[in-house]
Structure 1
């Protein structure tokens, strides 16, 4: 049998996921960055909406799992003050990245929706 996950292992997993959360938040930011949106058709923007939604979902899953692992490490037995403080810090940082990814991701999806409607002739130029 394998080794059981203890609080220290969960904290290491949370720390690793925190690093990956920074990368996933960057990908969410990049997915919403539009270069010359007028150059693309409405069909391009309609196809872009699900891509950005999947990027948002993945970008939210990583910091969410990070906060979960850090939270579980805080309550794992035996309780150690250093691990509780470190787990709380990792959880707070992960929730901050979750909020940033949330805002950036929904802004990216809304931007694609806006350009899809505008290029289809829904908004005046």
Structure 2
């Protein structure tokens, strides 16, 4: 492959995994910020109904970034040629990416539930 650039090997995949791991911290903060409500009873139910899909998308993005980091680290671990140091480091990156994945999932679920609560509170019925 002349002129195609560097081959996508295990080392390059590990660089992507670590980069995504650092970006997952930002995406987790983004999920946290989406669920932070100041005076939620000051807004109408229509506002909160519009917030539900926004918060679902933010949660999806916030969970996708660490999931992509875990997947890329796993791909790096199994890339040839296999190196023990890269396998260990890839496992460590995958485990570290699990933390923002779980935190984003928890915070995102809480943000969506909060918007659902405030959307249906004034209507008198909260769907279970």
TM-score by length of 2: 0.92
CA contact (8 A) 1:38 1:119 kept: no
SS in 1 for 2:81: coil
Aligned-pair CA distance for 1:120: 2.8
Q: Which residue of 2 aligns with 1:23?
A: 26
Residue 9 (structure 2) pairs with residue 3 (structure 1): no
Aligned mates of 1:89, 1:114 — CA distance in 2: 38
* CA deviations over 1:32-62 (Å, ceiling 9, x no partner): 1111111111011000001000101111111
Runs of 4+ more than 2 Å apart: 119-123
Match among 92, 104, 125 for residue 89 of structure 1 = 92
Q: Extract unaligned runs of 5+ from structure 1.
A: none
CA contact (8 A) 1:29 1:104 kept: yes
SS in 1 for 2:41: helix
Residue 54 (structure 2) pairs with residue 55 (structure 1): no
Match among 45, 49, 54 for residue 46 of structure 1 = 49
Aligned-pair CA distance for 1:75: 0.8
